Amino acid sequence: MADLRKLAMACALSVPMIALVSPARAQEQPWFGAWDSSRGLMHVEQDGDELRGDYAMMGGRFHGEIEDGGLSGIWAQEYSKVRCHDERLGSPYWGRFRLHLSDDGKYFHGRWSYCDTESGNGEEWNGKRPRHWRP
C-alpha cells in the first residue's frame, strides 16, 4: 500500500501545473504563464520588460524584451533544419522572433526566422491561453 501511495505522489508531482495569477499581475505581466503555441506548450517568465521561457518543440527556449508594442527576441533549440554559424542561448540552432499580444491578452501572433534573418520574413508563431487558464 505504501508503494501505491508513493506512485500516486510521483504521478501527481509530474503533472504540469497551470499557474494562477492575480488580475493585477496579469495586467503588469501580460505574457507570464502558460500558452498553447504552434511550437508546443510554452511557459513564460516575465520580469518587467524582459521575458524568458521554453516551449515543447525540440527543447526550445527563448529570451526577449517587450519593445515597440510587441515581444522581440532570440529562440534556440536542441536541433533545427538550419545550423547557424555561431551560438545563441547555448545552441547553434537559433533564430529571431517577433510576437504581438491581442488586446484581451488571450492570444498572440507573430513570426520567427533562422539565425540572424529578420523575423518579419519568417514562419508563423501563434498561441493562445490554455483552456483552463485563469488570470
What is the model's pLDDT at position 11?
A: 40
Q: Which single residue is written with the C-alpha cell 508503494?
A: 3
What is the model's pLDDT at position 104?
A: 92
Cα separation, 135 vs 29, whole angstroms: 10
CB contact at 8 A, 26 and 122: no
CATH of 21-128 among 3.30.1450, 2.60.40, 2.130.10, 2.40.128? 2.40.128
Q: For the chain, which residues make up each domain, given as ranges?
A: 21-128
Cα separation, 72 vs 132, whole angstroms: 27
pLDDT at residue 133 greater than cutoff 80: no
pLDDT band at 119 (very low <50, low <70, confident <90, very high): confident
In 3D space, the residue among 24, 56, 63, 44 whose CA is nearest the CA of residue 129 turns out to be: 44
Note the pTM of the prediction, 2 decimals: 0.77
Give the model confidence (pLDDT) of 65-80 as tens digits. Answer: 999 889 999 999 999 9
Give the model confidence (pLDDT) of 79-104 as tens digits. Answer: 999 999 999 999 999 999 999 999 99
Which triple of cell numbers denotes residue 55? 516551449
pLDDT at residue 20 greater than cutoff 80: no
CB contact at 8 A, 85 and 94: no
Cα separation, 71 vs 113, whole angstroms: 14
